[in-house]
Amino acid sequence: MKFRVTVAGVGPGGESYILPVVREAVAAADVLVGGHRALSPFFAMGKEVLPVTADLAGLAEQLKVLSREKKVVVLVSGDPGFYSLLTYLRRHFSAEELEVIPGVSSVQVAFARLAEPWQDAVFFSTHGREGTDILNDLLLPGKKAVLTDKVWNPGRIAQAMLDCGARDSVVALCRSLTNADEKICLTKLSELAGTDVGDCVMVIIDE
């Protein structure tokens, strides 16, 4: 019997933000696939585990083989539809071969913490990308949320925007959302420029 591969979002980090439907899928699974952070809340369940590393070569074939006889759940941070492994899997699986269970994304939480509607915001990620390819879009007015990384950190993004004539907009740096060390820092682009701050959700409010 062939099973669909389930791709489920485990939320932004705090275990209380893992949706019950995701926990149900995990309980019914034979094999859990994912990175360490996504898998860690479920290690005690004793499931068969397939860790995902930076080398994705062969992963799709492994999942195809496993799903012939076993229920496989691929766990991803946040929501599967937002900059996750789902993008890669859709190159190798049809929609009918996958079941996708949404999760709470860090961007949703960031806007909630700021009490800001986000239906009119635009979203970017610098992970694995050359940050200059999103710079023109970042200069447009309106709300933006950027998933930053260690290379294109908020300080570097702020400096690049200001160098291109951006207004000195209000910025919120949202780190470790839903975890015990969660921190929200309200600042401006000019106060960030040139600093080395790190991974976070960077919300730019230019209205």
pLDDT digits (tens, 9 = 90+) for 158-168: 999 999 999 99
Lookup: tokens for 49: 């585990």
Alpha carbon distance 46, 32 (integer Å): 10
Mean pLDDT of the chain: 94
Q: What domains can you pick out in the chain, each with its CATH number?
A: 5-104 (3.40.1010.10), 107-206 (3.30.950.10)
Cα distances (Å, whole numbers) of residue 189 to 138, 165, 169 = 12, 11, 6
Sign of CA dihedral 116, 171, 196, 161: positive
Please give the residue that has the higher pLDDT: either 113 or 54: 113
User: Tokens for 76?
Assistant: 């991803």
* Residues 55-62, mean pLDDT to the nearest whole number: 86
Longest Cα separation, the chain: 59
What is the mean predicted confidence (pLDDT) over 50-70? 90
Model pLDDT for residues 24-47, shown as the tens digit of each residue: 999 999 999 999 999 999 999 999
Q: Kindly state the average pLDDT of the residues 161-180.
A: 96
